[in-house]
Amino acid sequence: MEDVEKFDIDVLGEALYDSPLGLSKRKGDDIFNFVTDKDRVLRYISLNDHNNCVKGEQEPVALEKAGPREKIYFNTKKTKAAIVTCGGLCPGINNVIRSLVMGLHYFYEVKEILGVRYGYEGLIPSYGHGFVDLTPEYVKDIHQFGGTILGSSRGGQDVGEMVDTLYNNGIDMLFAIGGDGTLKGANAIGDEIAKRGLNISVIGIPKTIDNDVSIIDKTFGFETAYHVANPIIRDAHNEATGAYNGIAIVKLMGRDSGFIAASAAISMPVVNFVLVPEMHFELEGENGFLETLKKRLDAKQHAVIVVAEGAGQNLFNKEGKEKVTDASGNVQHDDIGLLLKNEIAEFFKKKDYEVTIKYIDPSYIIRSAPANPGDSVFCSGLAYHALHGAMAGKTKFVVGRVNNQYVYLPISAVTSSRKKINMEGGFWFAALESTGQPFEMR
C-alpha cells in the first residue's frame, strides 16, 4: 500500500473567504452540503485490505474527497484564471473547457478567464500565440465539436519563463488539461511557483485517450474512443465475412496500455483476436499467432483482429537502433498494424492459402470525435470539481474518480507510473471470453 502522506494535497494558504455558492452544512434540508478536507474516500475497498489494516493497527489509505468548500482562498471577483490544453487530441477537451468557463463565471463570478493558445507554447511570449478571452458566449457551443478550440502542442518549455508569464499577466490559477507530460509540466510549474512564494494555483485535469493514468478509474475521452471504434469494428467484420477467408485488421490507440482495444473488442463481440501491449505473443511456431489465425480461418472462413498501436513491439528487430521519441518524450513505436498485414499475407502466400486482407486505421477519426453523452457528463464533473479545489487554494493536484468517487490527488502520485491491463484480472479475462482466443500465442 502507498504511504498515506503521499496523497496529501498542497495548499497556498488558509482559506478565509466565504464561498458564494450558498450550500448547506447540515443533513436533511434537501440542499447539497459543502465538502470538508476531512471527508475521505478509501483507496482500497476489499474486505481483505480492511482486515489487513485492522490486524496491523494501520489507518487505511484514503484520498481527499473533491467538491465545494465552505471557505475559499481566492477573492473571486478579483480572480483571473487561465486554461491550457496540451498533447494529442482527445474527445471531450472542449467539454472540459466549456464547463470550466461556465463554472468559474456563474458559480464563482470570475470575470477574467484566459485561454492559452497552442499548449505550453502559449505561455512563452516569443511564440506570439497570445491569449483568447473565454466567456460563456464564446464557449457555449464548443461541446458539439471535437478537438480543442485553444489548439495544442507537444514538448516542454522553459518553466521559469512560463511562471513569469503567469505572474506578469496576474493569473491566479492555471488549469492544465493533458496527459502524463502535461501533468509533469504542471507539477514543475507548481514547484517553481512555490519556490518564488507566489499565490498561483496549478490544477491538472488528466487527458489521455489510452486511459493509462495511474490510480484513477478512467480518463475522459476513453469511453468515446471505444464507442466510436465500435461501428468501425462492426463494418470491418462485414468486410471480413464478405470474402472467403477474409481477414480484417483494425488498429486502435494504445501506446503502452491496451484498454481501448480490449474494451472495443468486448463492446463489439465479433472480434476474434485482440492484441495489446501488455501481452507477449509470437508470430511463428505451432502455438504462434499465425497458426492460430489459420485454425480460425479453417473453421470459420473469416477473422477480425483488433490490435493496439503499441502491441507486438518484440516482433521488430530493434538491435542497434536508437529509441525515437516525440516532443513529449513518448517512445515512437514501430507500426504493428502494417507488420501484421504483411506477415499474414506472406505466411498464407507460402502455404498457397487464399486470403483477402483489409487493414483499417481510424485513429485520427476517433481522436477528433466529439464526446459521447457518458464522457460529456464525466467532463463536466471533472471540470466542476477541479475549479472547487482551485478556489479552496489547493495546488499541484489532479481531479479524478477513484472507486467511482471524485477525489483530489497530488500530480506526482498519478505520474509516477502508467496504468496497464492486469493480465490476470477479470477485465482481460472478459476480453478473452469475448474473442475466444487462446490465453497465450507463443
Q: Is 88 labelled a binding residue?
A: yes
Q: What does the alpha-carbon distance between residue 340 and residue 274 come to, in Å, rounded to a whole number?
A: 13
Angle between helix axes 259-267 and 222-241 (nearest 10 degrees) is 60
Say which range, 51-55, 85-89, 248-252, 312-316, has the weakest mean pLDDT.
51-55
Is 418 marked as a binding-site residue? no
Give residue 56's pLDDT: 84
Domain 222-315+324-368+423-435 sits in CATH at 3.40.50.460
d(CA 168, CA 180): 27
The reply, when asked if residue 309 is annotated as ligand binding, is yes
Lowest pLDDT segment from 3-12, 131-140, 382-391: 3-12
Based on the residue annotation, tell me whether 210 is a catalytic residue of this protein: yes
- The C-alpha cell at 388 is 472547487
Cα angle 302, 303, 308; round to 5: 160
State how far the Cα of 174 lies from the Cα of 81, in Å rounded to an integer: 6
Among 45-54, 231-240, 292-301, the range scoring the smallest mean pLDDT is 45-54
Strands 40-42 and 62-65: antiparallel
* 42 has a pLDDT exceeding 50: yes
User: Smallest Cα–Cα separation from 413: which of 60, 57, 61?
Assistant: 61
Confidence bin at 318 (pLDDT 50/70/90): low
Architecture of domain 4-219+370-414: 3-Layer(aba) Sandwich (3.40)
- pLDDT value at position 341? 97
Q: Which of 172, 210, 212, 256 is catalytic?
A: 210
Assign 285 a pLDDT band (cuts: 50, 70, 90).
Answer: very high
The answer to whether the annotation marks 367 as part of a ligand binding site is: yes
Answer yes or no: is 3 a known binding residue.
Answer: no
pLDDT, tens digit, 9 for 90 and up, residues 180-206: 999 999 999 999 999 999 999 999 999
**Identical topology for domains 4-219+370-414 and 222-315+324-368+423-435:** yes
The full set of domain ranges for the chain reads 4-219+370-414, 222-315+324-368+423-435
What pTM does this model have? 0.93
d(CA 144, CA 134): 17
State mean pLDDT over 23-35.
Answer: 94
Answer yes or no: is pLDDT of 1 > 50.
no
Using the predicted structure, report yes or no on whether residue 317 has a pLDDT greater than 90. no
Is 296 marked as binding a ligand? no
Q: Mapping DSSP to helix (H, G, I), strand (E, B) and coil, where does residue 293 land?
A: helix
The answer to whether residue 330 scores a pLDDT higher than 70 is: no
Whether the pLDDT of residue 227 is over 60: the answer is yes
Q: What is the DSSP string of 415-430?
A: SSSB----TTSHHHHH
In the prediction, which pLDDT does 327 show?
57
